[in-house]
A and B are shown apart, each in its own frame.
Chain A
Amino acid sequence: MGGFLSAIGDVVTNDVTYSGAMRFAALLAFAAIGETIAEKAGTLNISLEGMVLGGAFAGALGMHLTESVTLGLVFATAVGVVVASVQANMSHRLTANQFVVGLALNTLVLGIASFLNTSIQPVSKAAHRFEIKPLSEIPLVGDAFFNQPWPLYLVYPMIPAAWWLLYRTRWGLEVRAVGENPQAADVSGIDVNKRRRQSVYIAGLTSGLGGGYLVLGQIGRFEDAIVGGQGFIAIAAVIFGGWTMRGVIGGCVLFGTVNSFRLTLPTVGHELNSELLSAAPFVVTIVTVTFFAYRTREPRALAQPFVRGLT
């Protein structure tokens, strides 16, 4: 018991833990921010995983071609939006089932990425760290927040920006209306499916960028299993957060932290069963969503297609 407590003490007082947690949480946040907007408008975007994966491969490919991290991130974002455009138009123009489209897209993106990866074998490396002094000298968490590869910092302004977009703009108001009561929004003169498509594009944008961050900010090179279900965990974070920006970010931090233990625990000198560590984020996600997520605030038209004149 004493050993266990001292181990926890080690982990909690080691700033490596915080830096690692931050890096994993950032990826989830990139994806979850866009997903929150998409879900507010009524899309449960299973293809989020594919958007992140597509972004990650495009990031690697972009860097391989241009040798620039910035352009890699641009590539990543663009591919995220391309994947989103398929999801958006299939589910909110043709009104095909969102889940089916999402599943097929995930398979497609994985297929294309691994096919091209073996044929092209892009070479990439992680972006350099950028230390923001003197903030990075805050004990324990300073490095976590302010001494990270620079693409990570992109997530900071995105959080308030997304909140502002949802709650302080006309577009956001319309998105929220469309996800709650599409019939009412339609009668008020809002193009329901257009708003829904746009919100999916936003999800593609942020998660594609997230994929770019993953490969260029965190891992350094692309591999097929690079995302490994973190897109799905980001969806869970949105549900966990009760569709509020604050809650969603909280979910990202929580799930990201658990996820990071896989890498950080061994480095601070604690060996644990690797299967357990790999499964932990998923188990923790299921358990916390079970106990803390009340679906009362769920957008009422979530995952329901809108066809004018149909109830």
Chain B
Amino acid sequence: MADRRTAGTDVPAVQLTSISKSFGAIVACDRVDLTLHRGRIHGILGENGAGKSTLMKVLIGLVLPDRGTIDVDGERCQIRDPQDAAGRGIGMVHQHFSLVEPLTVWENVMLGDTGPFDATAARRRVAEISERYGLGVDPGAKVGDLSAGVRQRVEIIKCLRRDPSILIFDEPTSVLTPGESERLFDVLRLAVREENRAVALVSHKLDEILHATDEVTIMRAGAVVKRMETADADAPLLARAMVGREVSLRSEASALGLIETVAESAADGEDSHHGEPEGVEDDSGTRVPALRLRDVVARGLDGRVSLDGLSIDVFDSQIVGVAGVEGNGQTALTDLLSSLLSAEAGVVEVDGVEVQPGRPGAMAGAGVAVIPEDRHASGCVLDMTVAENLFLVDIERISNRGIYDPAVMRRDAARLIEDFEIQTAGPDAPFWSLSGGNQQRVVLARELSYSPKVLVAAQPTRGLDVGAIEWMTDRLREVADSGVGVLLISSELEEILQLSDRVAVLFRGRIIGEMDRADVDLEELGLLLGGAGAADAAQEAGVSA
């Protein structure tokens, strides 16, 4: 391993040549070339669906390419599975899905290894790596007890344990605070500069690419469109290459991951969908909020307190953005507003009427529509048809004394499919056959069809491409303009800043800061996200309420 790493830098660590991969008629990668060098961080930029993850899956053996060659350290090879990749010194830090909660850190780290099973050595190794990179992870801790940020560090250790010479990071900052992202990039630099590893950083965020990489490859629709030194690049150039047309950095800043731009336009107030920011304090005395949560305490299904005295108001025609690093209660908040959790304490009111959130259908019945974070878990039924999914909540609208007519359902569904531009084979197509963006449209179409008073949108654009994100954000604005109060829960700060009239910061199950969008100060917001000043922020929130 050591000699491999010190080998001359003229031999690339990895060279992918003319890689093609199709899934059915869809070309995910079309003659893609990629070269990773030791000692450098290589950014791979592209929208969702541009083919960058498929390319990485080829590299770690989860996908076999149809054509093309792979050279690792100048040696032609085939990578058949992740073990094979690991054997060649290629490791990947996964975005999701790779840790088993009831197992300990060291057990997770050695999961998937081969060879003798030595617990003591494994623990020691974890501790060593943790110390070397300053990760601060306890090898004996149960992963289920750790926060999202720490879990990612466990993922990194899991990857580094095999001492890979090539490291792949897939959208690593989505679960991190700005501060944690900074620390992550420090780790990357350490791994690259001092240990001469090659790093591939997959991202759709321009900021991240500009900030952390040495060179960048930009992909669009399965092909490489540009390759350059990051030092020579700037945001407009990258954005154009990535999207394939002139884009306004302003209006699409959030989809592009340009936080500074979003923040600026927020400060100008020019991007506001209302002429002027809605001043809540002006009329809070006279108006009843569409949705009001007061000191709500709730436990997640794991029995832990996930909402710990949360208070928030959403008024008609207002978009309130709940910012926060993942794992601070977003899931519980969405679940609560989806009638999936009950409140142990506190009050939930819709239009001034108290609602018991744990009762089945209570929130939907009161007029709270939800676009859930994970639509497969609570937003749809995969095995039912598109038409049926459009009527999950209010089948009664088309029924008479408990009997409905499937023909009527189909007809009404066809109308919604047209209105919301849902791409599907028809109302009878199974829901699972739809692409992610179209599934999301079905959910939105249904939720709006029963004239809600409040729309809760949890991570509504996650996993969508730029076009679909634009469509979704436009719809959210329209919804708010039509008089519905919108609660936007997102871990993408850019999205929050671009859409919201008010911004609230969620930390450990409570709102620790709330401000009008015009008053947002990025630095202060970043600190709040990390929990800084949680105590006095609580006071502030009290004042503004």
Contact = CB atoms under 8 A, between A and B. Distances in A.
Chain A in direct contact with chain B (Cβ < 8 angstroms): yes
Contact of B110 (A173, A187, A296, A311): A173
Contacts of B107: 173, 177
A181 B100 contact: yes
A149 to B, nearest CB: 36
Interface string A173-196: 110110011011101111000000
Interface in A157-213: 168-170, 173-174, 176-177, 180-181, 183-185, 187-190
B101 interface: yes
A185 B86 contact: no
B82 interface: yes
B527 to A, nearest CB: 33
8 contacts: A169-B117, A181-B99, A181-B101, A184-B97, A187-B94, A188-B98, A188-B111, A300-B102
A177 B83 contact: no
A181 B102 CA distance: 9
Interface string B82-106: 1100100000001001111111000
A170 B100 contact: no
Contacts of A170: 110, 113-114, 117
Given A170-B113, A185-B111, 15 more contacts: A173-B110, A173-B117, A174-B112, A176-B100, A176-B102, A177-B107, A180-B103, A181-B100, A181-B101, A184-B100, A185-B100, A188-B98, A189-B81, A189-B112, A311-B376
B125 to A, nearest CB: 15
Which of A173, A180, A311 has the most chain B CB atoms inside 10 A of its CB?
A: A173
> Can you list the 4 inter-chain pairs with the closest CB atoms, starting with the nearest?
A188-B112, A189-B82, A189-B112, A170-B117
Interface in B126-166: 158
Contacts of A177: 100, 103, 107, 111
Interface of B: 62, 81-83, 86, 94, 97-103, 107, 110-114, 117, 119, 158, 303, 376
Q: A-side binding surface: helix, strand, loop or mixed?
A: helix
Contacts of A184: 97-100, 111
Contacts of B81: 189
Contact of B103 (A168, A176, A187): A176
B102 A180 contact: yes
A181 B101 CA distance: 8
Given A188-B82, A188-B111, A173 B97 contact: no
A301 B450 CA distance: 35
Nearest to B107: A173
A62 to B, nearest CB: 36
Contacts of A169: 117
Contacts of B117: 168-170, 173
Which of A169, A180, A181, A185 has the most chain B CB atoms inside 10 A of its CB?
A: A181
Contacts of A185: 100, 111-112
B99 to A, nearest CB: 6
Contacts of A183: 97
B97 A189 contact: no
A173 B103 contact: yes
A140 to B, nearest CB: 40
Contacts of A188: 82, 98, 111-112, 158
Which of A173, A176, A183, A189 has the most chain B CB atoms inside 10 A of its CB?
A: A189
A190 B101 contact: no
A311 B86 CA distance: 26
Contacts of B62: 187
Contact of B111 (A173, A296, A311): A173
Interface string A282-302: 000000000000001000100
Nearest to B82: A189
Nearest to B117: A170
Contacts of A181: 97, 99-101
Contacts of B82: 187-189
A187 B97 CA distance: 7
A190 B112 contact: yes
Contacts of B94: 187
A78 B22 CA distance: 45
Interface in A41-63: none
B86 A189 contact: yes
A177 B108 CA distance: 9
Contacts of B158: 188
Given A173-B103, A177-B103, A187 B98 contact: yes
A176 to B, nearest CB: 7
B80 to A, nearest CB: 11
A190 B111 contact: yes
Which of B103, B110, B376 has the most chain A CB atoms inside 10 A of its CB?
A: B103
Contacts of A296: 303
Interface in A14-35: none
A283 to B, nearest CB: 31
A189 B303 CA distance: 31
A309 to B, nearest CB: 11
A173 B105 CA distance: 12
A183 B99 CA distance: 9
Contact of A180 (B86, B98, B100, B119): B100
A101 B219 CA distance: 47
A288 B52 CA distance: 54
A187 B83 CA distance: 11
Nearest to A171: B117
A169 B97 CA distance: 23
Nearest to B376: A311
Nearest to A178: B100
Nearest to A170: B117
Contacts of A174: 111-112
A163 to B, nearest CB: 15
Contacts of B99: 181, 184
B178 to A, nearest CB: 27
Contacts of A187: 62, 82, 94, 97-98
Contacts of B86: 189
A291 to B, nearest CB: 20
Which of B94, B97, B114, B376 has the most chain A CB atoms inside 10 A of its CB?
A: B97
B540 to A, nearest CB: 39
A211 B113 CA distance: 36
A235 B229 CA distance: 62
Given A169-B117, A170-B113, A311-B376, A189 B101 contact: no
B83 A189 contact: yes
A136 to B, nearest CB: 38
A181 B100 CA distance: 6
Nearest to A308: B62
B61 to A, nearest CB: 8
Contacts of A311: 376
Interface string A109-140: 00000000000000000000000000000000
Nearest to B115: A170
A187 B98 CA distance: 6
A300 B110 CA distance: 20
B291 to A, nearest CB: 29
B101 to A, nearest CB: 7
Nearest to B111: A188
Nearest to B97: A183
Contacts of B110: 170, 173
B435 to A, nearest CB: 14
A183 B102 CA distance: 14
B535 to A, nearest CB: 34
